[in-house]
Amino acid sequence: MPKPIPDYSLYVITGESFSKGRSTEDVIRQAILGGATVIQLREKEYCGKELIRVGKLLRDMTREMGVTFIVNDRVDVAFAVDADGVHLGQDDLPIEVARQILGPDKIVGISAGNMDEVLAAQARGADYVGLGPVFATGTKSDAGEAVGLDLVKQVCARATIPVVGIGGIKANNAAQVIEAGAAGVSVITAVVSADDVTEAARQLRHQIDLAKGLKG
Amino acid sequence: MPKPIPDYSLYVITGESFSKGRSTEDVIRQAILGGATVIQLREKEYCGKELIRVGKLLRDMTREMGVTFIVNDRVDVAFAVDADGVHLGQDDLPIEVARQILGPDKIVGISAGNMDEVLAAQARGADYVGLGPVFATGTKSDAGEAVGLDLVKQVCARATIPVVGIGGIKANNAAQVIEAGAAGVSVITAVVSADDVTEAARQLRHQIDLAKGLKG
């Protein structure tokens, strides 16, 4: 039986430094209440112990609330907290190592910035790709130039695995990314920096659902 | 059959930023030629991809030259490069996770700064402890106050697993650490910052062997 494909519609990545002093736990709970479907723990400054602590909190919360939970970069942490999968950048561990440690049933996502990286990730067995930055973004200084909606369209036309758009996506442009063929949009600041996190997630989710034709 | 206990005599930790522009590969090869018995890859600034690249180089080299190879912190990287084991700080992943990922035959070492941490590590199944800082050190800003030779003696009298002293150890004080009961000494700058790495390792190893009564 093939493993089920998660609902990638609204993929929220943690960012403690963008969360205005609120705890990651509180912010993520509000995001899920607003309609986030995937949560990724991504805190580059955390030591292993802190990743495990927050990872276990988010694992319990996401399981209880019925959303998917992914850990960034650290395959060992994903294993330790029994996350649903891991997300790897082009500079992280190879996908094969993630598969060996996590087993075939876990999700492995890969960041891609162009068609070649998407097709390579797919060929090596990635479950989804995070494609971007779709629009210009200030959150990731090393994210490179915006790839634009045209590349999203081209990639989504060729890729056989789900494509999640990332980078500079907000409520006012999320629909374009979905209309270009993406399975979902990934955000950090558009949700975690919002004064009302639940409402920000709800607005994004509303635009995504509209674009998918799930709302009339 | 219990797994073999490595020779911890001269345990050299990498430190690219202390290596005066020389490559880690070159420095470590020279250290092994001078008598290093254990090599630990510890580069906190490296991304996963770079850890894998250097880790594979060191894995091949240490295997060929017959010394033990340990990876710091990243259990996933240790797994990926088939290191002999992993070294975990008090803020890293729990030892149980390392065992689950790496299996029972790999080495798991733990950093300890007092008797309680040593006994806890031992109780949880650590293969060895790195105890320190034995002397004052400038290399690790977060290493805390020197524990001194008295604690080394007390720990070595009680611990049933090998104790490796670390922190401020050089050729002129290494013998004291061995005489206090340590199975070996761990160094970074005393070897990797030396103008002649091989000679620095050789002098340290000579003092260690003398203190162990291996040389007359």
ipTM of the complex: 0.90
Note whether A85 and A101 are within 8 A (CB): no
In this predicted structure, what is the pLDDT of residue B4?
84
pLDDT range class, residue B125, cuts 50, 70, 90: very high
pLDDT range class, residue A142, cuts 50, 70, 90: low
pLDDT range class, residue A141, cuts 50, 70, 90: low
Q: Quote the CA–CA distance of A85 and A98 in Å, as a whole number.
A: 9
Angle, nearest 10°, between helix axes A48-65 and A24-33? 20
Nearest to B73 by CA among B98, B100, B105, B102: B98
How many beta-carbon pairs below 8 A join chains A and B? 63
Closest CA of chain B from A108, distance in Å: 14
In this predicted structure, what is the pLDDT of residue A139?
65
What's the mean pLDDT when you consider all of chain B? 95
Q: What average pLDDT does this structure show over B15-28?
A: 96
In tens, the pLDDT along B72-124 reads 999 999 999 999 999 999 999 999 999 999 999 999 999 999 999 999 999 99
- Domain ranges (residues) in chain A: 10-211
Which among B79, B89, B93 is the nearest to A101, CB-wise? B79
In this predicted structure, what is the pLDDT of residue B113?
96
pLDDT range class, residue A143, cuts 50, 70, 90: low
A111 catalytic, yes or no? yes
Q: Is the pLDDT reported for residue A128 higher than 80?
A: yes
Q: Determine if residue B89 is labeled as part of a ligand binding site.
A: no
Q: Is the pLDDT reported for residue B141 higher than 80?
A: no
Q: Quote the CA–CA distance of B157 and B102 in Å, as a whole number.
A: 30
B25 secondary structure, DSSP code: H
In this predicted structure, what is the pLDDT of residue A145?
84
In this predicted structure, what is the pLDDT of residue B216?
52
pLDDT range class, residue B214, cuts 50, 70, 90: confident
Nearest to A24 by CA among A48, A49, A68, A59: A59
CATH number of B10-211: 3.20.20.70
Q: Is the pLDDT reported for residue A42 higher than 80?
A: yes
Judge: A100–B94 Cβ closer than 8 Å, yes or no.
no
Q: For residue A150, which amino acid is it?
A: D
Judge: A49–B101 Cβ closer than 8 Å, yes or no.
no
Q: Which two tokens stand for residue A42?
A: 């991504």
In this predicted structure, what is the pLDDT of residue B1?
62
Q: What average pLDDT does this structure show over B22-26?
A: 97
In this predicted structure, what is the pLDDT of residue B145?
85
Catalytic residues of B: 42, 111, 140
In this predicted structure, what is the pLDDT of residue A144?
74
